[in-house]
Amino acid sequence: MNSFFEQHATFIADNPKFIEDFQGIMHYEQHPKNTILHEAGKVCDYMYLIISGIARVFYFIEDKDVSCHFAAEQETFTAIDSFIQRKKSKYFVEALEDLEVFKIAHSDLENLFTSTPKYERFGRLFLQQLYIDLVERLDNLQLKTAQERYEILLEKKPYLIQRITSKHIASYLGVTPETLSRIKK
């Protein structure tokens, strides 16, 4: 239940024009591996839906690189703080693999929401799902051990562990690369 279309299958089924309406504001793009798609300190005007590849959202805290979100095929990403609040972001976004994406401009999305109330509703449902996912991650950090957090990720999103370097997985789990290496033994 990770993919965008799975998570919102009911809404999409109830609104046959969904695909058509969104195609009007989605733009296909390719970005080679290691491209920086967004830089901290700038306002992020786009949300992305991945066709192929993996993206990483991260930020720096006292020179330490901390990953906070990964997205693979059929998942979405953006510099969420900035996209929501329309202010400078703390996040960077980079392509960990060659990326094919659809991107949607914030302004186009706003216009769609304003002109078509049922899509305003969709925006709310989409955010609800993000919220639920985040609550689950928070619960894990609050009271699971590093080992348990690794096992949960391994079970829920094995493709991330296979395709992303250990040091990024480590910071995402809130541990050092050394600790993660020992956990995997």
Partner DNA sequence: AATTTTTATTGATAATTGTCAAGTAGTAAT
Partner DNA sequence: ATTACTACTTGACAATTATCAATAAAAATT
- Name the residue with tokens 């991260």: 58
Residue 10 touching a copy of itself (CB under 8 A): no
Measured from the CB atom, the residue of 30 and 166 that comes closer to DNA is 166
Cross-sheet strand order for the sheet of 36-38: 36-38, 92-95, 55-61, 64-71
Strand order in the sheet with 99-105: 26-31, 99-105, 46-52, 76-77
State yes or no: residue 17 binds a copy of itself (CB under 8 A). Answer: no
Pick the stretch among 24-32, 97-105, 126-134, 157-165 that binds a copy of itself (CB under 8 A): 126-134
Would the CA dihedral through 65, 71, 77, 80 be positive or negative? negative
**Residue among 54, 64, 79 at smallest CA distance from 164:** 54
Beta strands in the chain (DSSP E): 26-31, 36-38, 46-52, 55-61, 64-71, 76-77, 92-95, 99-105
Residue 132 binding a copy of itself, by CB under 8 A:
yes
167, interface contact from a copy of itself, DNA, none, CB < 5-8 Å by kind: DNA
| 30 vs 139 by CB, closer to a copy of itself | 139
Q: Which does 36 bind (CB under 5 to 8 A by kind): a copy of itself, DNA, none?
A: none
Near DNA by CB under 7 A: residue from 116, 147, 154, 163: 147
Which residues of this chain interact with a copy of itself, rule CB under 8 A? 61, 64, 66, 68, 80-81, 84-85, 113, 117, 120-121, 123-124, 127-128, 130-132, 134-135, 137-139, 141-143, 174
